[in-house]
Every structure is written in structure tokens, then in C-alpha cells.
Copies of this chain bind each other. A is one copy, B any other.
Amino acid sequence: MSRKDYHKGNVREGLIEAAERVLHDEGLVALSLRRVAREVGVAPSAVYNHFKNREALLAAVAADGYRQIAELELAAYSGQSKSAAVVRGVARDYLHFAAANPNLYRLMFSHDVVGYRSDPELGQAGDRSFGISVDWWYGSGSYDPGQTALEYPYAMSVWAILHGLALQMIDGLVTMDLSKRESVDKLADTVMDIFLEGASLGLVDK
């Protein structure tokens, strides 16, 4: 057993990266603790030095996903005026993220991780991503994690429609080519048009 077999120092990060890779390429069913350990070249039991159990490892991966969404929102929202164009941009980015990481996106909202929704890391990452949207709609500093999402109806509604759209898209409920940017853009634009202008426009006696 050579010196470098111990205290590799980056096993935790390695586990998360391996988990993300396996999740991306083969889906949640393939994402077992043993598989991830194998990928990193470590005994299954070694994982317990870094995570309480399998669910905690999944939660760390999910938290990473929320952080990516937060980054994307920050880039699209920060310093931008409250125009419909910004919302359209966020919608596109959001859907592109989901299209590029369908399994990660599903995991983020999966019940396999729901026990950790109150876990500091995952909970905070989730709150932050919603908070960025709230602050844009209602003014910087508006977001209070103690409030229910319904207190911020605009932010809540955008999230709802994006979430539904993302899942329909990655679950194959809309016939389209997920890998084509233009297809994803078109989906986002079409639906966000209606969302921004109001579905009543499609009704006879609005």
C-alpha cells in the first residue's frame, strides 16, 4: 500500500464529481454509493468518512445543481432592468440547463433527496436560487427564506412555468430535439410569450 493511497485529499470532491458524471451519463438508477466509490478507486466504506450515507452524497450533488442555477440567474438578472426581455433570457438559460443536465435536474427535485431539503447545504442552495429571482422581481433584499413562496407570486409563477416546462421537455412530453439550441429556444419563447402577455388573450370572452 503506497503512500499516496492515504490522504489523497480530494476524495470528497472526487466523489461528487464522479457522482455527477455517472448521473449525467447513466441516470439516477446507476448512481449507487458503491458505483461512485468504484469510480474514484476507493473502498465503499471510505465514502462514510465524507458523507453520512448515500442520500447525503446525492444531496451534495443536488446542491451543486442549485448553485449552477443560481449562477445562471445571477448572470441574467443582476443589474438588469425589469423588462420582459430579461425574463425571456432567464427562461432560455433555465431550459438550456435542464436540457444539458436532465438527470441532475430531476435529482434536484427528487424524493431521493427530499429528506435533505432541510439540510443546510441543500436547503440554502435552493433558497438562494429562488431568492435571486425574488430580489429581481420585488427589489433587492426582498427575499426572506422564512416566508412561503406564495408571498412572491411573480417569482413563484415564473418558477412554476419554467419547472413544468423543463420537466415536460426532458421527460419527452414535447416532441423535439433536446440537443438543438434553437428548439429549446423556440419552446421557451413560445410559452413565455403567453406567460408574459397573459393566456386570456387566447380566450373568446376574456
Residues of chain A at the chain B interface (Cβ within 8 Å): 27-28, 81-84, 87, 106, 109, 111, 114, 117, 126, 137, 148-150, 153-154, 156-165, 167-168, 171-176, 186-187, 190-191, 193-206
Contact of A164 among B150, B162, B175, B206 (CB under 8 A): B162
Asked if B106 contacts A111 (CB within 8 A), the reply is yes
Contact partners of A186 in chain B: CB under 8 A:
150
Asked if A156 contacts B195 (CB within 8 A), the reply is no
Instruction: Name which residue of chain B comes closest to A200, CB basis.
Output: B196
Contact partners of A87 in chain B: CB under 8 A:
199, 203
A115 to chain B, nearest CB (A): 11
Asked if B167 contacts A167 (CB within 8 A), the reply is yes
A60 to chain B, nearest CB (A): 19
Asked if B161 contacts A167 (CB within 8 A), the reply is no
Known contacts A165-B164, A196-B200, A199-B195, A171 near B109 by CB under 8 Å: yes
Contact partners of A175 in chain B: CB under 8 A:
148-150
Contact partners of A167 in chain B: CB under 8 A:
109, 163-164, 167
| Measured CA separation A20–B27 after assembly (Å) | 26
A104 to chain B, nearest CB (A): 13
Asked if A168 contacts B173 (CB within 8 A), the reply is no
Contact of A148 among B162, B174, B191, B196 (CB under 8 A): B174
A101 to chain B, nearest CB (A): 15
In order of increasing CB-CB distance, the 3 nearest A-B pairs are A164-B164, A198-B198, A163-B164
Asked if B117 contacts A172 (CB within 8 A), the reply is yes
Contact of A154 among B27, B114, B172, B199 (CB under 8 A): B199
| Measured CA separation A154–B204 after assembly (Å) | 13
Contact partners of A197 in chain B: CB under 8 A:
198, 200
Contact partners of A137 in chain B: CB under 8 A:
202
